[in-house]
């Protein structure tokens, strides 16, 4: 069964460093998402991406964040200058179709630890 994959599973970085989290969505899906979950808190929406551009973003997704689909398979989240409060699980998700309220399929997550 197709699944969303994410790499790395765990990323440790120093405050102020740039990180890139990688995702491979399910191949025929059209919508792509990033969510994060800070330890003990809710899963929070960051950004959605469709047709090679951001379709929605939350207040969390500020200028430090960017997303890219550099080729036909990868979907990346970049944090330019990490802060301690960026430590969280980051989940990528994808959805197959437009115009319908399909469920989103989530990857296993990347645990980001900022020291």
Interaction site with other proteins (CB under 8 A): 4, 6, 31, 33, 35, 41-45, 48, 56, 58, 91, 93, 95, 101, 103-109
d(CA 5, CA 49): 17
Q: Smallest gap, in angstroms, from Cβ of residue 47 to other proteins?
A: 8
Q: Smallest gap, in angstroms, from Cβ of residue 112 to other proteins?
A: 15
Nearer residue to other proteins within complex by CB, 13 or 44: 44
Q: Which residues of 42-67 are buried (b: 16+ CB within 10 A; e: fewer)?
A: eebbbbbbeeeeeeebeebbeeebeb
Q: What is the DSSP annotation of 75-91?
A: EEEEESS--GGG-EEEE
d(CA 23, CA 39): 21
Nearer residue to other proteins within complex by CB, 35 or 75: 35
Nearer residue to other proteins within complex by CB, 42 or 52: 42
Q: Smallest gap, in angstroms, from Cβ of residue 114 to other proteins?
A: 20
């Amino acid at each position: 069964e197709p699944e969303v994959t994410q790499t790395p599973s765990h990323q440790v970085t120093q405050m102020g460093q740039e990180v890139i989290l990688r995702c491979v969505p399910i191949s025929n899906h059209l919508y792509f998402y990033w969510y994060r979950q800070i330890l003990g808190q809710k899963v929070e929406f960051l950004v959605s991406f469709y047709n090679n551009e951001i379709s929605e973003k939350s207040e969390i997704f500020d200028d430090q964040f960017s997303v890219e689909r550099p080729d036909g398979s990868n979907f990346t989240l970049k944090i330019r200058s990490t802060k301690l409060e960026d430590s969280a699980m980051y989940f990528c998700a994808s959805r197959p179709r437009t115009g319908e309220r399909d469920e989103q399929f989530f990857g296993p997550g990347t645990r980001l630890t900022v020291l």
